[in-house]
Amino acid sequence: MQSRKVRWLAFLLAIAVGVGLGLYYGWVVSPVAYVDTAPNTLREDYKADYVLMVAEAYQGDGDLASARRSLALLGGEPVKAVEEAIAFGSAHGYASQDLYVMQQLLMALQSRPVENAP
- Is the residue at 80 inside a domain? yes
Structural domains in the chain (count): 2
Average pLDDT over residues 68-76: 92
Clarify whether residues 50 and 7 are in a common domain: no
- Whether the pLDDT of residue 113 is over 80: the answer is no
Print the domain residue range for 93.
Answer: 39-111
Clarify whether residues 55 and 72 are in a common domain: yes
DSSP codes of every residue in the chain: -HHHHHHHHHHHHHHHHHHHHHHHIIIIIS-----S--GGGS-HHHHHHHHHHHHHHHHHH--HHHHHHHHHTTSS-HHHHHHHHHHHHHHTT--HHHHHHHHHHHHHHHHSPPPPP-
- Whether the pLDDT of residue 114 is over 90: the answer is no
Question: Model confidence over 4-56: pLDDT tens digits?
Answer: 999 999 999 999 999 999 999 999 999 888 777 888 888 999 999 999 999 99
Q: 118 falls in which pLDDT band (50, 70, 90)?
A: very low
- Is the residue at 55 inside a domain? yes
Clarify whether residues 50 and 25 are in a common domain: no
Q: 76 falls in which pLDDT band (50, 70, 90)?
A: confident
Clarify whether residues 24 and 54 are in a common domain: no
- Is the residue at 83 inside a domain? yes
The pLDDT of residue 112 is 85
Clarify whether residues 49 and 81 are in a common domain: yes
Q: 115 falls in which pLDDT band (50, 70, 90)?
A: low
- Is the residue at 61 inside a domain? yes
- Whether the pLDDT of residue 110 is over 70: the answer is yes
- Is the residue at 117 inside a domain? no
pTM of the model: 0.69
- Is the residue at 11 inside a domain? yes
Clarify whether residues 54 and 99 are in a common domain: yes
CA 110 to chain centre: 25
